[in-house]
């Protein structure tokens, strides 16, 4: 087993090589992604959409996130493991935020946590840093703000909105985040932010200028029916899995499974 990567190593790779990040929610997927060379496994609160069947990420609980993060860590990956702080786990006091985030470190074995939001989260980021908990930021289209945004809409269009996000990125870096996810913003703004901060930017629907990219793994694998514009499908596992299951159904119903080679002799 290779050594787990570290937060300082990840941060130091800005400008030297592009960083590859994907979501993981279970041990099997985490092992496959890690063996394929992914640099960071994010246990995203997208768990709510792609695993638990919710329409948004808002219903996902802290207990659910800690449990799935622990499963990913049990894969013993080389990649960093970072977990999303779910809705209402950091919309509280900095002290309670630290208490909630500490569960991912102590109980699940994560390397850090991710939280959404800009200037309003600075006290929380600083408190987490003082507690020794590495933090990844998230700006732009922040899914936990879906009700405020009125849907999943591109953010940062227009000079005022762009300047606010740029200012938030600089403030978050100063507060101590080690990396920053930029989601659903114009390409030019992502390029400006990437040039303005000394930490890696990880894009999702933010164009090619970011230091790295992240996608929701089931989207990349073609397991869902609808995916955002920015997703490139690298497989069609929905069809592959469906064909495999239909083959199994047919073989069982026709008495062709199990055959002699799948049975134990006397």
Contact residues for 107 (Cβ-Cβ < 8 A; gap 6+) = 66, 70
Question: DSSP letter string over 76-110?
Answer: --SSEEEEEPPTTSSSS-HHHHHHHHHHHHHTS--
Output phi, psi for 154, to 5 deg.
-60, 135
Which tokens go with 96? 């309670």
Query: For the chain, how big is the Rg over CA atoms in Å?
Result: 20
Whether 174 is catalytic: no
Interhelix angle for 62-73 vs 94-106, to 10°?
30
CA distance 216 to 75: 18
- Residue 43 β-bridge partners: 83
CA distance 87 to 75: 26
- Residue 112 β-bridge partners: 82
Beta carbons of 72 and 27 less than 8 angstroms apart: yes
CA distance 21 to 181: 10
At 72, is the secondary structure helix, strand, or coil? helix
Q: Which of 183, 256, 261, 266 is catalytic?
A: 183
Burial (CB count <10 Å: 0-12, 13-18, 19+), residue 137? buried
Burial (CB count <10 Å: 0-12, 13-18, 19+), residue 201? buried
Which residues are annotated as catalytic?
A: 183
């Amino acid at each position: 087993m290779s050594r787990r990567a570290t937060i300082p190593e990840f941060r130091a790779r800005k400008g030297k090589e592009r960083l590859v990040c994907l979501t993981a929610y279970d041990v099997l997927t985490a092992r496959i992604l890690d063996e394929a060379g992914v640099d960071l496994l994010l246990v995203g609160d997208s768990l709510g959409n792609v695993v638990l069947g919710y329409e948004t990420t808002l219903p996902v609980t802290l207990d659910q996130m800690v449990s799935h993060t622990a499963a990913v860590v049990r894969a013993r990956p080389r990649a960093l493991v970072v977990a999303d702080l779910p809705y209402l786990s950091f919309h509280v006091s900095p002290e309670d935020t630290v208490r909630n985030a500490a569960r991912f470190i102590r109980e699940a074995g994560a390397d850090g946590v991710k939280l959404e939001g800009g200037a309003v989260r600075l006290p929380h980021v600083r408190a987490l840093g003082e507690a020794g908990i590495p933090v990844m930021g998230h700006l732009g289209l922040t899914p936990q703000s879906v009700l405020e945004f009125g849907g999943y809409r591109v953010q940062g269009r227009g000079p005022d909105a762009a300047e606010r996000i740029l200012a938030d990125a600089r403030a978050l870096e100063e507060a101590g985040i080690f990396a920053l996810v930029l989601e659903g913003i114009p390409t030019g703004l992502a390029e400006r932010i990437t040039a303005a901060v000394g930490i890696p930017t990880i894009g999702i629907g933010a164009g090619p200028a970011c230091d790295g990219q992240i996608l929701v793994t089931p989207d990349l694998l073609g397991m869902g029916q609808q995916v955002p514009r920015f997703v490139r499908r690298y497989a069609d596992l929905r069809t592959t899995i469906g064909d495999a299951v239909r083959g199994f159904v047919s073989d069982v119903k026709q008495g062709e499974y199990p055959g002699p080679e799948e049975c134990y002799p006397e």
